[in-house]
Structure 1
Amino acid sequence: MTAVTGAAPMQHQAPVIRNLRYLRPLGSGGTCWVYLYEQKEAQRLVAVKVSKQRANNKSHELFLKEATFMARLSKHPAILSIFSAGVSRDGHDYIVMEYAPGGNCKRIMKTKPLSQPQALNLGVHIASALYTAHQQGIIHRDVKPGNVLITADNLPVLADFGISASTYRASQAKGLSIPWAAPEVIAHQSGGSEASDIYSLGATLFGLLTGKSPYEYGFKVHNEQELSEAITTLELPKLRRREADTDFERVLRKTMAHNQEERYFSALDFARDMQVLQAHLYGSMTPLIAHNTDPYPTSEELGTSGRLARLNTYRSRGNQTALRDRVPTGSNPKTLNPPPPKQHNTRAL
């Protein structure tokens, strides 16, 4: 995993890598160590992910696949950039990546849950990252708070494509994170799809609002088996109004529908509805960045006969609050304070 914070005990000496100066450990995950280096020529800090396993055909293939996927996507401002990859002198695969000093959203979630405006802002960013990956035929398969990092510019970025798969190649789910995984993935009916990525982003936003994964928030579960059973058989718990209003909850419930066909058709579709919510609740929107895609919804989509009307069809049974009855505040949402979005060519390798 790349989403690690805080120095942890290391069982491996940081590798000597050309043109990089080692600074300190950042942490470790199940399969890798992560170290902080300074890139001498560029004079920037970078995170280096080092495999715990000595390079062999299988491990090298996995690291190379992750590096290839991330390199294809890292021009996107909401996807963690990769700068290089290789094998260290002591025989361990490594990837040199953008350093995200803000840590990961798992830490943020446990410290203080996000407000609804912050969650919507983050959601649009990461949905645009997912949409870009899906356009390239890449399924992430492990979207969760721990894989959403905060950069030096205070922007959320999607990281860790270590178990990603091509949409054109059948693959079984490996290394899935049960609290955030879609029911069909847990039930081994799917190795991961665009629909399951969208579910996991919805679950991630739910967790960032509440401080817990959806089914750990709503039910007392004592182990992974009970959690898996809850996710695959029980209805999604309801949010408290202080965590999200009815309109955002409708969107999240659509995102995490048990039936894949009832979820959003695409991550772009999900992002657009979040933008509509931002516009009508707060009077401003987070721009969506994706190739050949307008950054904002059209006036028709924002109108009462467009997406706004469709949002009202997500109303939970017995809930009479309609989005069209709300009056925009005209104030800006309290977001993660991102700077203006970077152009695609500013993050070229």
Structure 2
Amino acid sequence: MSAEHAPHIPGLELVRPLGSGGYADVYLYEQQSPRMNVAVKVLKREGLTAAIRRQFVDEANTMAQLADHPYIVQVFRSEQTADGGAYLVMKYYPPPNLAVRSRTDRMTVEEVLRTGIQLASAVETAHRAGIIHRDIKPANVLVSQYGQPGLTDFGIAGRGGHAEDVDEDVGVSVPWSPPEVLYGQSNGDSRSDVYSLAATLWHLLVGRSPFEQPGGDNSAYALMPRIRAVPVPPTGRADVPVSLERLLSHAMAKKPDSRPQTALELARGLQAVEQEQRLPRTPVVVLDEEGNTAVAALPAAGRPELDHDRTMVRTPTSVAVPEPPRPARPVEAEDEEDAPTTISGGVLLAVVGVLLVGLVGALVWALGRDEGTPEAQPTASVRTQGGAPTRAIDYPEQPALDARSGSGSVTFTWNYVGVEEGDFFQVRVADSESEVVDAEVTTVKDAARHTVAAADGALVCAQVTVSRKSGLTSPRSAIRCQSAG
């Protein structure tokens, strides 16, 4: 690419080219007022079709709709030129993107978990707006000068999973795409974005895409059969916990129904790994059904063992009781013991009001102490930026599932953070991983284990969910398979 093809844009001065993609070039400009750097994505003239031009306009509209999210690249404006070209003016993120960085730097597990939760927040927000990204990959994750990721390139995003949403000539990025998209069974939905996000995190841990073979044939035609049939390989890193390996494998399951069904479910699984590793909890930032910001609670300062996975929802703001007014004239006394005990009538009324409010609050609290009701379970309160307390929901953590073979049986056991009295479990068991999601549910109480009778050598697969009396459930565990005998 060359600077000579960069358009003249009023109010912007060209600095230098930044990079080139399939149908667009990206340049660094300096905006004159207010003065700041911006990135400008410009449509290439060669090979330009009506479909690509429409796709470019759709990208601008989609990113603008999601621009308030902290982990989605902001679009400032979009213009179509008189000669049929077009450009986007976006927030500038300095190089490198995560694809370039992962080739040279070894990202820590903590950093990958944090990035995954932040990107899952962005993806969940897009999904709640009815937008499927369809091209999540390391190259489409930029990094701000403050280290925050920015998801970009919504060029082939669409609304829903229907083939008519995208033109036939729009391609996908094979190494990070799920089997159902590569083989034309789906045009993408929330579960395909979950797969691509998990493949991206695997890439960040290893430095290459999950099914790429170093030194082997890694063309699209060689990768596609591996993606469809080969199990997700382990990362091979000793510092990657087993729980994270399982979660990524679960999220890249071959069948869409076997994956976490939402980006939020994947984010909670990543948070559970953070807590297991005693890492600071990364908040999930999404919009609730009413368009308000809902944020997963941050850890209690210095007390990670007390932290639980919570997604905050808005409740009525509590009313703060003002302190009683001070007397109009100062009290004169030799010392505190000699101070007069009489107060004015207005102050007395204020004090009585405060006492009555306190007594009513105590009575309500006492009546709610019946341990047999869900309302009696303690929930934490955290404060929003405005200072108003917001109730938090105690979701059970995603369980980690293990399996042990025995003579004529397989025993599954599981554990999870934040065990509460009365928790019970929903277990699905089948003869293969793909059949687990449709298997009959067995309820298990009193013990975090379940033994399945099977002929020696027979494969048994299972998945478990934690349930509470309140009706809340955990994300489903990764599917675990083991042969009997």
Task: Report matched runs for 1:218-297 at 5 Å.
Answer: 220-242=216-238, 244-292=240-288, 293-296=294-297
Does residue 163 in structure 1 map to residue 156 in structure 2? Answer: yes
Change in Cα spacing, 1:229 to 1:24, as seen in structure 2 (3 Å) is same
1:163-191 Cα distance to aligned partner (Å, 9 max, x none): 11111754357320100000111111111
Q: Give 1:62 shift.
A: 1.4
Check 1:56–1:29 CA distance in 2 against 1; reply closer, same or farther (3 A cut).
closer
Question: Which whole-Å CA distance do the structure 1 matches of 2:3 and 2:17 have between them?
Answer: 11
**Cross-structure match for 2:481:** none
Matched, 1:32 2:24: yes
**Cα separation, 2, equivalents of 1:312 and 1:214:** 22
Q: Is the counterpart of residue 213 in structure 1 residue 206 in structure 2?
A: no
1:110 Cα deviation from its structure 2 partner: 0.5
- Per the alignment, residue 117 of structure 1 pairs with 110
Q: CA separation in 2, counterparts of 1:232 and 1:290?
A: 32
Contact 1:15 1:88 in 2 (8 A): no
1:195 and 1:317, CA in 2 relative to 1: closer, same or farther beyond 3 A?
farther
Determine if contact 1:124/1:286 at 8 Å carries over to the other structure.
yes
Q: CA offset at residue 307 of structure 1?
A: 4.0
After superposition, residues 99-114 of structure 1 pair within 5 angstroms as 99-114=92-107
Number of aligned residue pairs: give it: 315
The answer (yes or no) to whether the contact 1:179–1:213 under 8 Å persists in 2 is: yes
SS at match of 1:240: coil
Distance change >3 Å, CA 284–CA 160, structure 1 → 2: same
Length-normalised TM-score, structure 1: 0.82
C-alpha distance after superposition, 1:209-245 (max 9, x if no partner): 0011001158943422111010011111122242511
Corresponding residue of 2:198: 202
User: 1:88 is matched with which residue?
Assistant: 81
Greater CA drift, 269-278 or 217-226? 217-226
| Matching of residue 21 in structure 1 with residue 109 in structure 2 | no
- Alignment of 1:312 onto 2:305: no
CA distance in 2, matches of 1:89, 1:103: 33
| Ranges in structure 1 where 5+ consecutive residues have no aligned partner | 1-8, 326-349
Post-superposition shift, 1:320? Answer: 9.9
- In structure 2, relative to structure 1, the CA distance for the partners of 1:50 and 1:140 (3 Å cut) is same
- Tell me how far 1:297 sits from its aligned partner: 8.3
Structure number, greater radius of gyration: 2
Range with bigger deviation, 85-94 or 251-260: 85-94
Alignment root-mean-square deviation, CA? 2.9
Code of the residue aligned with 2:157 in structure 1: it is: S
Q: Is the 8 A contact 2:3 2:16 kept in 1?
A: no
2-structure distance, mates of 1:77, 1:180: 24
| Structure with greater proportional strand content | 2
Partners of 1:56 and 1:215 in 2: CA distance: 33
The answer to whether the 8 Å contact 1:114/1:208 transfers is yes
SS of residue paired to 1:215:
coil
Q: Is the 8 A contact 1:102 1:154 kept in 2?
A: no
1:216 partner SS = coil
C-alpha separation between the residues in 1 aligned to 2:269 and 2:215?
A: 28
Identity of paired residues, percent?
A: 35
CA contact (8 A) 1:53 1:59 kept: no
Q: CA deviation at 1:60?
A: 2.9
Shift of 1:108: 0.7
Measured in 2, the distance between the counterparts of 1:21 and 1:278 equals: 44
Q: Deviations over 1:139-198 (max 9, x none)?
A: 000000000000122101100001111117543573201000001111111111111100
**SS at 1:214 equivalent:** coil
Determine the C-alpha separation between the residues in 2 that align with 1:155 and 1:50: 25
- Residue 210 to residue 254, structure 1, CA distance change in 2 (3 Å): same
Instruction: For 1:62-77, list aligned pairs within 5 A.
Output: 62-77=55-70
Superposed displacement of residue 114, structure 1: 1.3
